[in-house]
Structure 1
Amino acid sequence: MSIKVNLYRTFREDQRISMELYAHYLDHYIKKNFSSIIELSSFTPSMLISKYLPNKLKMRFARFVEYPYQIKKNYQKYEINHIIDHGYSHLVRYPLNKKNTIVTVHDIIPILAWRGIIPNFSYPHKPRLIEYSINSLREAAHIIAVSNNTKKDLIEHCGLKSENISVVYNGCSGSFRPFQENQKKQIRNNKFKFPRDSFLILITGEGYKNHETALKILKELRSKKKIFTWLDLAQKIIIGRI
């Protein structure tokens, strides 16, 4: 007899791409490998009234009002409820059953930034709603942290107990593997025409990716007269050289 499990996903309008990928591959892997023992389903919420609200209120209303309303009638039919994004942890308080709800926590960067724990990165205001969601983790049956560092942060800065947290690393596609030395040279010299003594820095446009530290490293390396290439991952092109 299979166990009924439901994944609670994010609003598409929230544009939390990494969370969607996490849910997508978790869904795919379980259905491919454990379909005989796990009856898996997932729920993606829809924006209703919230889409007509001012931009600053849209996602807040959607997360904290519309999401609970949309799942309150059906959550009881699942033996395990899995919230895949810690930003939605408040669903543990209401309406989900605390006894069979687990939450995956990826990081608590806004809280750490607000408290001045992350060098060269600060949060513009106290993240009250995020704190509310993270505090809801105390009500969960169990927590999955994607790294030992995230588990450590949850214990040290959120007061959670070690025995209530399991570390399960994000999966990695078999397509990713170390390059052979000759492949490294091919990529460096042929594909992108990188000079032999260049340094490649990969970075996204997200503000929380610690750009300031990256720039400080660039400054220090530049003083050593090295060549740097800046690659835009989104467009997969070289956008500049320092």
Structure 2
Amino acid sequence: MGSVKLASLLMFSERVSLVANTIPRGENAMSTTSRSLAAAAMLLAAAGCSGRHAATPAPAASPQPVAKPAWTRLSPAEMTPPQKALQQRCMEAVQTMGKRLLGRLEHALDEGDPAAAVEVCRTQAPAIARAVASEYDLRIGRTSYRLRNPANVPPPWAKGLVERRVEQPTWLAGPGGRLAGLLPIRLKPECGMCHGPQEEIDPKVRTALARWYPEDAATGFHPGDLRGWFWVEAKPAG
């Protein structure tokens, strides 16, 4: 038996003797052996109780992996050839949508009814966006930090950029090889008739806006102001 074990046994024996001596020795006192066994049982019970209440150190927390964002900003210089091809398709889609929408607005204004421009943006702009999306196999729309049409909320990947009012074209790489872009729209002088200061807007236009957009927040702009953005999102072919 090793010296450490022997020392432990001697210490335990001494403790048993001390406890045994504290047990009463009356006429019906226990025998020496009985007292020793009782003392040993008391010590073991005490040891068991102290063990149950001993503090157990908490296991160290394992480091959690940091999740990568679903969309990350990407400069044109960082784009791969497939991403550049997607960017080209996105740019063409935005240009097509902008030209078609402007053409419809100019046609409505040529008819002499300024309120007709409100109707173009209300009914024809969404139809143009759907047609362009189908032609170019992507998603496309318009948004702003001050909306007129409540349906034009930004997609999730663009929400933070809209809140920060980014003024430069911004591109992002997303899951599955997707590419998204947020492209600024500056107010053109001719668009001030619907988006300019309230006091400068034709009464007929104000009436139409109040009818169709009771919560309109898209007035008070001046030529050159950041009015909003085209947003576009494309995925690789196939």
Normalising to structure 2: TM-score of the pair? 0.26
More strand by share: 1
Question: Which one has more relative contact order, counting CA pairs under 8 Å at least 6 apart?
Answer: 2
Q: Whose Rg is larger?
A: 2
More helix by share: 2
Normalising to structure 1: TM-score of the pair? 0.26
